[in-house]
Structure 1
């Protein structure tokens, strides 16, 4: 069997893996990178980017619908087929351009998921590979549901590539993905049901704002079923029968499409990590503060697959830089993570950064919480936005902003100002004394603190 040697072997071609590969190549190392899917990773091929492209038309539709009779004579119509064609103009070039860039700088490419043979040896494309350092950057994959007929579930990849939108759709899981897709599908004309085992959608976000978002989602025609456990999925000619249990009662829901949106898990199953003496858990590869495997010192993990993960592309890039630095300079850099904003790209956006209300109350003796549904404010009224709300949390003694939660148009942009404020220990007075452009969404934050 052919045997190859590399200084650094990277598994996964997303932003984290690419960052490591480029830095190590620039330092003169012999580097290879492997991926069993299209090069470029999840975000650009089948995640954040294509999702936001589909959302562009939904945003335009929403704007015209809200202003119908107020300067717009009739709302726009969504042409799903044209929208998918527009999206492919962005995504179709990603794999080839990623491969070209990596080849041009001297990275050896493999198109298969490697398997560990021992602590330092991999098997890939029928070849043995010995590497001085191995970097696992495989990202995450959809969580599987172990019920009869589970093979009939479609996943986020399928939704993002739908040639035709079904008339009736069920999303099993009311997290980021399920809620974002539900908002798209409902506005594009589908009858949408969102099912979840919990008591509410988006359990990691502020309960008061989620309550407002849920109420508005229902006004779009989205139906919710909570406390539901799927038990079986059967395919009938053109329909599906989803059996589920609520409070011990068995029920059946008929639909034309069913998507598993229950979340994502680290993509580790095919690597044979046990043979490589790489410890891992449900949340990812077990690493120290250098992102080095706790059990195999030549292995590092970065991005969504490490146990230091947050499923956010900017953090993946930062982790890639940390891993490259530690490979090249002998564990010289700890992973330091600033406060990072999270956004659910429903319409309106739901955005969050810093502490929740509960966390802040448990941490500080005196906490100030400003919560308001502000749909009557000028910026919301200007575009006839149906929902605008916020909850800002401050340390009452110092005036420092410690948490911000926004629900409204452009909340995904405005939250970045609060991230900067929290990371720089800014107070309510600092915000109020800053002159922003007017009238802008960001200027509204002076009235929130």
Structure 2
């Protein structure tokens, strides 16, 4: 091994958080290196939200055409998804990313290194046979699927696999009732596959409003997706015709493709954190309120690897801003995850921000409730969608928006206005003063708030 090369900052990972911090520190004159074990670009751009949303867009367009068949759209009921063409369309977004990211690093003067990085000291990293010594190290390695404790778990496919299928299998079984399973299920079902979701208890999508979740579950079933609740997978086995999933209660589900939708965890195993003196607890980095390791102040973390906020790209971007400011301005900045939105890109989408009714009742938080159905709203009815509803929680007295939960077309866009209200503590009266375009999803807000 060659002698150590010295840097101001070494970044592990090339996703949104990693790239942002590296770029800002390099612009400040720092010597920066960035290391990646896979293709440059990170999960969101290559294997997550962006390619998924591309597939969802086509699936939603097909679904909308079918809903509007006979309502002025001739032949809409016969439109189908050409899966190989859809994959080619997706690759038009993902394939250029690694090269573009490499070029951006070169243009910025950031040294990009391909290889699996691991600690060899408190401020030293080894990658691709090189030893890098740094004043600061950022861990921004994202997350990976959690290995479930079931027999045959090695046979499970991941969302990475689903998003790169050259042909869509006819029978898919999704393990777990989280957002990954629901999103992939809705895409696959609109493409003509037989889809089954197996969930361990009665509450899929646990962190979302359960009244709206129940509506989405029923709507999903009407779309042909079988959803088996109180059905915990016990084993996966290979068969002559594909795979079989056995549940703890003795049921058996045949499939050509079995998806791991049972959650993700920080991707830390390859880093040899003990060698760096970086403390871990229950699979998560132990960081302080500044996103700095509590046991090694050289090390910071951001995004899914930090596991402080929800595992979402906007959170990673926010973490990156906090870390960059702490590195460049002094370590006194803290993340604020108030008003982080979360969306299940089912068809239609389910969106959430802030306090849920379940959490408020559990914690004894007082609230005023606004809820209702939106299927007859003009902006919903004209799409042919039948599943649409809302629930808004307001603070008694002040009228501040505590939480908002939406199901229906444009939910993923309208929720952002409620997110602004939650983050800035806007009142229902202030939000209702919005003079929005009409008819639009935003124009429904006044009707929701009553």
| TM-score (structure 2 length as normaliser) | 0.96
Shift in Å, 1:304 = 0.9
Please give the secondary structure, in 2, of the residue aligned with 1:96: helix
2:231 corresponds in structure 1 to: 228
Aligned alpha-carbon RMSD (Å): 1.5
Find the partner of 1:189 among 189, 192, 201: 192
| Structure 1 segment 241-320 matched on structure 2, within 5 A | 241-245=244-248, 249-282=249-282, 284-320=284-320
Aligned to 2:390: 390
The secondary structure found in structure 2 opposite 1:163 is: coil
Query: Any residues of structure 2 matched to 1:349-388 within 5 Å, and which?
Result: 349-361=349-361, 366-388=366-388
CA distance in 1, matches of 2:247, 2:80: 34
2:211 pairs with 1:211: no
- Does 1:107 pair with 2:97? no
Instruction: Give 1:230 shift.
Output: 2.1
2: CA distance between counterparts of 1:294 and 1:365?
Answer: 32
Shift of 1:277: 0.9
Distance 1:200 1:13 in 2: 35
Partner of 1:71: 72
Residue 69 of structure 1 aligns to a residue in which SS? Answer: coil
Compute the TM-score of the two structures, normalised by the length of structure 1: 0.96
Q: Do the aligned partners of residues 444 and 385 (structure 1) sit closer, same or farther apart at CA in structure 2, a change above 3 Å counting?
A: same
Q: Which moved more, 1:78-87 or 1:228-237?
A: 228-237
1:10 alignment counterpart: 11
Q: State the match for 2:40 in structure 1.
A: 39
Q: Is the 8 A contact 1:13 1:33 kept in 2?
A: yes
Distance 1:215 1:337 in 2: 32
CA–CA distance in structure 2, aligned partners of residues 428 and 363 of structure 1:
23
1:201 to 181, 199, 204: 204
d(CA) in 1 for partners of 2:168 and 2:294? 46
**Are 1:284 and 1:307, in contact at CA under 8 Å, matched by a contact in 2?**
yes
Query: Contact 1:32–1:108 at 8 Å: present in 2 too?
Result: yes
Cα offset, 1:104, TM superposition: 1.4
Residue in 2 aligned with 1:124? Answer: 127
Aligned equivalents of 1:365 and 1:111: distance in 2? 50
Counterpart residue number, 2:86: 83
Which residue of the other structure, out of 138, 142, 147, is the alignment partner of 1:139? 142
The secondary structure found in structure 2 opposite 1:183 is helix
Residues 265 and 282, structure 1, Cα contact 8 Å, conserved in 2:
no
* Whole-angstrom CA distance in 1 between matches of 2:312 and 2:92: 24
1:150 aligns with 2:165: no
CA deviation string 1:159-214 (max 9, x = no partner): 00011111110000110110000111111101110011122220110010001000
Q: Give, in angstroms, the shift of residue 288 of structure 1.
A: 0.8
1:227, CA displacement in angstroms?
Answer: 2.5
Gaps of 5+ in 1: none
Are 1:169 and 2:189 matched, yes or no? no
User: Does the residue aligned with 1:77 lie in a helix, a strand or coil?
Assistant: coil
Q: Distance in 2 between matches of 1:170 and 1:162?
A: 15
Q: Work out the CA distance in 1 between the residues paired with 2:370 and 2:336.
A: 30
Return the offset for 1:432.
2.7
| Contact 1:12–1:139 under 8 Å retained in 2 | yes
Structure 1 139/365 Cα, relative in aligned 2: closer, same or farther at 3 Å? closer
Aligned residues: 446
Gap regions ≥5 residues in structure 2:
none
